[in-house]
Structure 1
């Protein structure tokens, strides 16, 4: 069985997430709060363990398949897209205190999604807009309304 860099990284992350997951279950529960301090870390670490295991499986399958002669499996590097993604994240961080969480998140998700795969039709633009609006709305409702985490208000918008 052959394994590559992705498989090794997946195994390391799987081991780390499983160790931390066990430790999250050992956190003391609070009698006043129904959800203890280890609840959300356990959820995140469970997803991390699942994603790491999937990465290992994908790498093993990739290395098990016979390599086609003369075809390079090295992906083409797109540094321009990496720079654009960093610029979009930087703009999000800069606009967050000015526009507020809801509006800045809509612009961030929509802008990053458009940069990664530019929509080519009106239907794709509508899907991109719906995803951006939905992401901002769901994350706002979960954090602001359910978890009672105060999200940034915009100095320019007031919300």
Structure 2
């Protein structure tokens, strides 16, 4: 049986994830915080290994091979604009602060990817941006005690 792209990608994700996961055991622990610098990388790497294993197993024991669906038109301009939007977000963080910059980034990216048509869609865009930025801020600032960037221009 010839390996498919899914199997190769899954095996790479599983192997590299396992290697990097093993390297997290050498990170120094801080006596000042209960959650050390190894906590978040381990979560991400465990998810990477799990998804890699799902790809490999799904490819080995999956359904019969189907012909791949025809690829849609490529939109390189949209990909470039997304990178530009992210770059602007990173540049705006020091001036606007995490809360305002993240809210603006999520609103802008939604508008860029799927321009809203109608008042109801605009409300959805604003609600999604609030739901994405407020809980992240609360979890990191309040629960995990990790300071997020404050805006030099806004103070928040």
Query: Secondary structure of the equivalent of 1:64?
Result: coil
Q: How does 1:108-119 map to 2 (within 5 A)?
A: 108-119=105-116
Q: Distance in 2 between matches of 1:79 and 1:51?
A: 27
RMSD: 2.9
Aligned-pair distance for 1:3?
Answer: 3.8
Unmatched runs of 5 consecutive residues or more in structure 2: none
Alignment equivalent of 2:81, drawn from 84, 96, 100: 84
Unmatched runs of 5 consecutive residues or more in structure 1: none
CA 1:7–1:114 in structure 2 vs 1: closer, same or farther (change >3 Å)? farther
Q: Does 1:52 align with 2:49?
A: no
Q: 2:150 — aligned with what? A: 153
What is the TM-score normalised by the length of structure 2? 0.78
Aligned-pair distance for 1:75?
Answer: 3.6
Q: Distance in 2 between matches of 1:55 and 1:76?
A: 25
Q: Distance in 2 between matches of 1:106 and 1:141?
A: 14
Aligned-pair distance for 1:140?
Answer: 0.9
Q: Does 1:74 align with 2:71?
A: yes
